[in-house]
Homo-oligomer: A and B are copies of this chain.
């Protein structure tokens, strides 16, 4: 008889469950349902969660005491009987901050627990001309000012996440390569000294989460972000897909044509060489994106042809992505959001042509509604999500 030698079938989480864990889970369940539905009475929460009215009352009392929820007024469902008291997420205490370093700006967004954007700050600056240490110092200043302003309006910022345009080693906050910024081997987390915990994460991934939580994202979609480099964030069942080492979503180096132009990565025919910003501007013989858009609006034939070819290449690469990772929807962000009117038809047509007839409907291609805010909002959303997932941790502060 053959004895198995592989990985175990069980998926041990290594975590025993005790009474405190049980309570934490039920607190999270109640808070999550309140968030999902806007507001609920205790009786409704008991019905939805299956817990007894007694238990729900106790859990809600704990959440009120922690400042995570508030009572928001009475509400009646039927004709008779005691009216219930609505409980909703409190936007007046806990908040999170999202940070972003992009090519030509630094930005921060403060978001409260009810997911309202309470503060927006953007600073225009050419980050490619600056040293990483200076960029990060300037960002730190922006954050400290924003946090002070948040405190002034009664908010308690519990943490943040920083979006950078390149793959990130999540355990160290180290950025090996950010082509849009011209950065290599930058210890971003180490350089970022702030009086609150801030993690570092890839911009495309955070923008995808931003679309999910603040945009029109369905639970499963592929978000495409792009400047010089092109990245993708994949959300499946409301969760980010990262791959084995966190380097999934390198759409920019998917092969469009195996004998195509040589890429800076060393391979040939990468999407970036067709649809990256540099490739687009070169094909249209213009110096920047604003000029390209002007020419497109003037229906300049060379500019339109450049967009057509970029759209075709995006469609080919996205057809491979759809075959491999099976998203419901494709959301175009970054420069592709700005160029959407001139890209969408070609992308969708090429996608349809390359997907064939065997997988039913072609995933719709939509434009990001959040524009340049997607990544910073996704960053803040990560922290909000953590608080809602583990309210018991907030009870002890």
Please list the residues of chain A having a beta carbon within 8 angstroms of any beta carbon in chain B.
Answer: 1-19, 21-22, 25-26, 28-29, 31-33, 35-36, 49-51, 114-118, 177, 211-221, 232, 236-239, 241-251, 253-258, 263, 265-268, 270, 316-317, 319-321, 323-328, 353-359, 381, 384-385, 388-389
Give the residues in chain B near A32, CB-CB below 8 Å: 8, 10-12
B12, A319: Cβ atoms closer than 8 Å? no
Report yes or no: A236 in contact with B243, Cβ–Cβ below 8 A: yes
A238 pairs with B320, CB closer than 8 A = no
Say how far A115's CB is from chain B's closest CB, in angstroms.
Answer: 4
A250-B359 contact in complex given A7-B219, A257-B257, A267-B319, C-beta closer than 8 Å:
yes
| Distance, CA A31 to CA B1, complexed state (A) | 23
- Supplied contacts A6-B214, A16-B26, A267-B353, 4 more A-B pairs, CB within 8 Å: A242-B326, A246-B326, A255-B316, A265-B357
Given the complex of chains A and B, what is the CA–CA distance between A393 and B129 in angstroms? 62
Bound-complex Cα distance A348 to B156 (A): 52
Q: Are A216 and B6 in contact (CB under 8 A)?
A: yes
Known A-B contacts A16-B49, A321-B324; the reply to A8 vs B36 at CB < 8 A is yes
In the bound complex, CA of A60 to CA of B8 (Å): 19
Selected from B215, B265, B357, the residue in CB contact (under 8 A) with A6 is: B215
Nearest to A256 among chain B residues (CB) is B258
